[in-house]
Structure 1
Amino acid sequence: MNIYEAIRLRRDVRAEFTGELVDDETLWRILDAAHRAPSVGNSQPWDFVVVRDRSTLRRFADHVADKRVEFRDALPPERAETFDPIKIEGITESGTGIVVTHDDARGGPVVLGRATVPETGVYSTVLAIQNLWLAATAESVGVGWVSFYDEPFLSDLIDLPDHIRPVAWLCVGPVEEFQTVPDLERFGWRSGRPLADAVHRETFRAGS
């Protein structure tokens, strides 16, 4: 699979996990790809916490389920009806969680390239997530990014030091298939934008 095929095939996986664990050799290749991401000042501000303990997975899944209900109940009725059938996580089904964390102090007090845009630190960590996701897709391994959680809960759950922030819980595991259409489009939550609407020439206001 070439890089363009992996980009086109990549999906945010929820319901397609086989229930088998990704083997350690494949998992290490995926993490190695993530660790090779570009980072501002070569600071490599990420770490990867691999979670497979069933009780920890269950505790996090229960927390996410509560947050899902809170979100649904805050929606207007018509949006709640659209949201209701959308599965938002595969925490226990995947059998493996990877928590990607960000250490803003990594690289010392002066990080080359971050002086005027401090957010480039966390951008670097997100690039590691993208590398991980594409590598997993090339291995026919699914990834689902879970974002329905309270940050302090997750930090306590995996015993993070105070200065390290969790950026993502990724459900990682072999899949039956990758959906041809992303879930949020299939269920009518939101359609994607065509590329022509996103490309601007010379200035933003000049149009596409």
Structure 2
Amino acid sequence: MDVFEVMRTTRAMRRLDPTRDIPEEDLWRVIEAATRAPSGGNTQPVRWLVVREAEPKRALAEIYQKCWAQARIGYASDPVVAKSAMLRSADYLAEHFADAPAVILPCARNAAAASVFPGIQNLMLAARALDIGTTLTTVHIEREAEVKEVLGIPDDVRTYALIPMGYPLGRWGEAPRRPVSEVTYWNSWKRHRERPEAIPTSS
């Protein structure tokens, strides 16, 4: 799959098929892709904790549901967001969190986010190339100590995200984005430039 198509069509997939397992080799492949991302000084601080067993997933789901119930209040206070498909899909994820075939936690000791999140993005793009859906969640941070206790993570290790993974029940597609010319400035703040039409190349 073309890398630009992968980037265009990678989006949060919160409705995952609980009946289709992810081959272990594909989990190795997406984590290997994650390890190819840059990190400060090439320190490679991230450790990727893969959760596939039912009991720890169930325990994580209980924690996640409590965190989401609190975070949801802020989202639902906006009347537009309260009626949105995004909020409905986030509710679905919370309700079915334990059904995700795999959950991955990127963890590190004393690492800047800039050394962690490029790997997370690589992982999600690699998963998309294999038709595996992912979504990046961080609401668990409010009860991170409980997450660490479930998974035996040391106190001095930070969990940067929970990433449920599975084959999506919905269809791939492009999420709405603002035009690139609207969000790009040239040489000084708010100095826009219209993007020229692409010139077809001769075959």
Shorter-normalised TM-score: what interval? 0.7 to 0.9
Whether 1:180 and 2:165 are equivalent positions in the alignment is: no
Whether 1:166 and 2:159 are equivalent positions in the alignment is: yes
CA RMSD of aligned residues (A): 2.2
Q: Which runs of 5+ in 1 are unaligned?
A: 106-120, 183-190
Equivalent position SS for 1:171 = strand
Q: TM-score, normalised by structure 1?
A: 0.79
Q: Which runs of 5+ in 2 are unaligned?
A: 194-203
Is the 2:16–2:166 Cα contact (8 Å) retained in structure 1?
no
Q: Match of 2:201? A: none
Q: Match of 1:187? A: none
Q: What is the CA-CA distance between 1:205 and the residue it aligns to?
A: 4.1
Partner deviation per Cα, 1:89-131 (whole Å, 9 max, x = no partner): 25322221111112226xxxxxxxxxxxxxxx32121000011
Q: What is the CA-CA distance between 1:27 and the residue it aligns to?
A: 1.0
Flag the 1:129–1:2 CA change in 2: closer, same or farther, 3 A. same
Q: Which runs of 4+ in 1 moved over 4 A?
A: none
User: What letter is aligned with 1:206?
Assistant: R
Q: Match of 2:145? A: 152
Question: Which deviates more, 21-30 or 170-179?
Answer: 170-179
Q: Greater strand percent: which structure? A: 1
User: What letter is aligned with 1:193?
Assistant: R
Q: Match of 1:134? A: 125
Partner deviation per Cα, 1:149-200 (whole Å, 9 max, x = no partner): 2222222222222221000111112234534254xxxxxxxx6322112100
Identity of aligned pairs, percent? 24
Is the 1:20–1:94 Cα contact (8 Å) retained in structure 2?
no
Equivalent position SS for 1:87 = helix
User: What letter is aligned with 1:100?
Assistant: P
Equivalent position SS for 2:161 = strand
Equivalent position SS for 2:163 = strand
Aligned equivalents of 2:115 and 2:165: distance in 1? 21
Q: What is the CA-CA distance between 1:49 and the residue it aligns to?
A: 0.5
Q: Match of 2:59? A: 59
Please point out which of 202, 205, 208 is paired with 2:187.
202
Q: What is the CA-CA distance between 1:60 and the residue it aligns to?
A: 1.4
Equivalent position SS for 1:175 = coil
Equivalent position SS for 2:139 = coil
Question: Which deviates more, 150-159 or 53-62?
Answer: 150-159
Is the 1:91–1:97 Cα contact (8 Å) retained in structure 2?
no
